[in-house]
Structure 1
Amino acid sequence: MFKTISRQLTLAALALMLLMAASIYAVMAWRGQPLVIEASQSLVDRTGGSIVNALDAQLSRVEGNTSSLAALAESLPRDEALYLQAFPRVVDDNGNSAIAGGGIWPEPGAFESGVERFSFFWARNSQGDLDFLDDYNAADIAPYQEEEWYSSARGAEPGQCVWSTAYRDPTTGVAMVTCSVPYYLDDEFAGVATIDMQLDGVAEFLTENGGATGGYAFVLDSAGNVIHFPVLIWKRTRCKGWRTLRTVCLGCSP
């Protein structure tokens, strides 16, 4: 009799434990999991918002400096020595390493009558200093007025920045995007002020901050071209070793 009672108590205890486990699982699945997902989504939203705000701050800084260049081009006398002295300080932005270069690009004849190309451009060298480059005024290359970053600013409002698509500068070899702001003399389009923003710094920033939630961050230009997408490492239990992919996780090779 005592063995039967002991066995029944043991079975009752096991049944009670199973019932408690099932109840806990049901509560976690019904209430706990949605709360975890909601908290995770909130963290992702906050992290993504901080990344966007940081990039917006960089872009706004570039836009403000480019507008300052355009305002100077409208107000300063058209004197070559004065341009060479005044504009590099604005382009340099106190040694801002995100700036690849920038300058002033007048329309044909707008700076000096009869002269088609009279640009003032500075590019940052490997030591972080700005060098004046006269390459874009050479007669054996296409006029800078035909470049997309120049033509896209025609007709834009004074002070308005027009961002180019991502490209690699043919002279410096640096991957960048350009903020172009038109300037006007006597209410007529007279040229474009530009500041170039290096894309290497954007990629480093996203790499450092994009994995805060275990995910990644990527950025597209105005035309939908990928400026930066992280290299993702995926490990699958049925795969032999690791695979490195630049877009999405593909099926594993046998």
Structure 2
Amino acid sequence: MQILTTAAALHAYTETARRAGQRVGLVPTMGALHDGHLQLVQAARAQCNVVVASIFVNPTQFNNAEDFRLYPRVPEADAALLAPAGCTALFTPSVEEMYPRPTVLRFDFGDLERVMEGAHRPGHFNGVATVVSKLFHMARPHQAFFGQKDWQQVAIIRQLVADLSFDLEIVTCPTIREADGLAMSSRNCRLDAPARAVAPLLHQVLEAAAAQVRQGVPPAQVKAAADATLAAEPLLTPEYVEVADAETLQPLDVYAPGRAVVLCLAAHLGGVRLIDNVVVE
């Protein structure tokens, strides 16, 4: 596995592969890798000849300086995991490499970003769109791989690709969970023992809500029941629960025939912010 630290080296690597007729897969990450990330790498390897994983803790997508400071960084351990999973090149740029000068461009994704994560983390998706655009330009992948756990982020990136005519395919892979249902996340390592014991409640709430949706329980009642369950747990501070259209992400008053529903939530647990979602077809 090659280690690349500059945009020029990344571009040269992927262009060489392209000229040889090889397909390039990109897996953007912020490191602190877990099995969910490795599944993305494995999926990319199954479909592409070369797989580039990037590790970059992007400062522009954090609206909380303390969250950025505490975000786990374990580069040596990450590199050791990637090669066996099928990664052929690791891109680990510095902040100065990614942002040689402050960015002034601002993205507006309309209603897609005015709900859930966008509403609670101002500027977050502008930072995501900026860094992902840079990675797409530098690597020029045929496919880029993302996890379903960040459902709204994937929707934003799909809009970005469509609006800016990036010549690539976005591939979404299922959320990988611990045995007790907790969605794998780089932030999970920050949970202390009491918080970790409570954490599976998030997925349990979503599964209960999904069962209600399948039974036709009105969205307002589904949301109220989920809110009540989360509020009853002393260690949890709920941020939002939404019953939304899976494509537009807009909150639902009624279900539309033939339209998938996404159930999304965010909560603070022991000082750690966690998100999760379940899609009901």
Common topology (TM > 0.5): no
TM-score bucket (shorter structure): under 0.3
